[in-house]
Chain A
Amino acid sequence: NAGVTQTPKFQVLKTGQSMTLQCAQDMNHEYMSWYRQDPGMGLRLIHYSVGAGITDQGEVPNGYNVSRSTTEDFPLRLLSAAPSQTSVYFCASAEDQESYEQYFGPGTRLTVT
């Protein structure tokens, strides 16, 4: 099992550009989520999904879109990048919404100039 994979590992964008951060898991997990981590802060939940076709907003969803067309994939889209979105992004998965252990991907470090 590869676990949770994220691509790319690093990305630099200019203000206004759009891009998609990829996340995939091969554990057949129902629950997937996206977090951002800023210096001096813990992780903050952006969006999450409890299964294919179902997504919902977390604590900081503005400026981000998600979709869940398959169980395996949960891409995060930045519609129009802003410097405030400079952060490290983590994708995570759990067996289902009743599970308490989340498995995290290695993270994507995004810089918006």
Chain B
Amino acid sequence: AQKITQTQPGMFVQEKEAVTLDCTYDTSDQSYGLFWYKQPSSGEMIFLIYQGSYDEQNATEGRYSLNFQKARKSANLVISASQLGDSAMYFCAMSRRTSYDKVIFGPGTSLSVIP
């Protein structure tokens, strides 16, 4: 069965420093996609970054990068130069590649950025 694990329920980071949020996954699919979403205290879900299982390069979107290690089944999110507005819940998710009929989310990591 597919499963997403996020072992850090809460993280703290100093403003302007980098932080890594961990995500490991389990799937028997050969082709799959990995996502990260941000949920601020206001409640909306914001798409951050996507990595396909066959993509050779790690995905990057501005200050966000995804450290994809396929053999270890990990897809960690790296946020560089943290800002106060980065304080939020972060969810790792997985689906069949570009297909949502088996999308699953992890339990989330709460990130607090300290000034």
Contacts and interface: CB of A to CB of B under 8 A. Distances in A.
Q: Do A and B bind each other?
A: yes
Interface of A: 31, 33, 35, 40-45, 48, 56, 58-59, 88, 90, 92, 94, 97-104, 106-107
Interface stretch (B11-19, B69-77, B98-106): B98-106
A59 B104 contact: yes
A92 B4 contact: no
Contact of B105 (A42, A48, A56): A42
Nearest to A100: B50
B107 A94 contact: no
B27 to A, nearest CB: 14
Interface in B68-108: 91, 93, 98-101, 103-108
Interface of B: 4, 33, 35, 43-47, 50, 52, 91, 93, 98-101, 103-108
20 contacts: A40-B107, A42-B93, A42-B105, A42-B106, A43-B91, A43-B93, A44-B104, A44-B105, A45-B103, A56-B101, A59-B104, A88-B43, A90-B45, A94-B100, A97-B98, A100-B33, A100-B52, A100-B98, A102-B100, A104-B47
A107 B108 contact: no
Contacts of A44: 104-105
A99 B35 CA distance: 12
A40 B9 CA distance: 9
B101 A48 contact: yes
B77 to A, nearest CB: 14
Contacts of B107: 40-42
Contact of A92 (B45, B98, B108): B45
Contact of A99 (B46, B91, B98): B98
Contacts of A31: 100
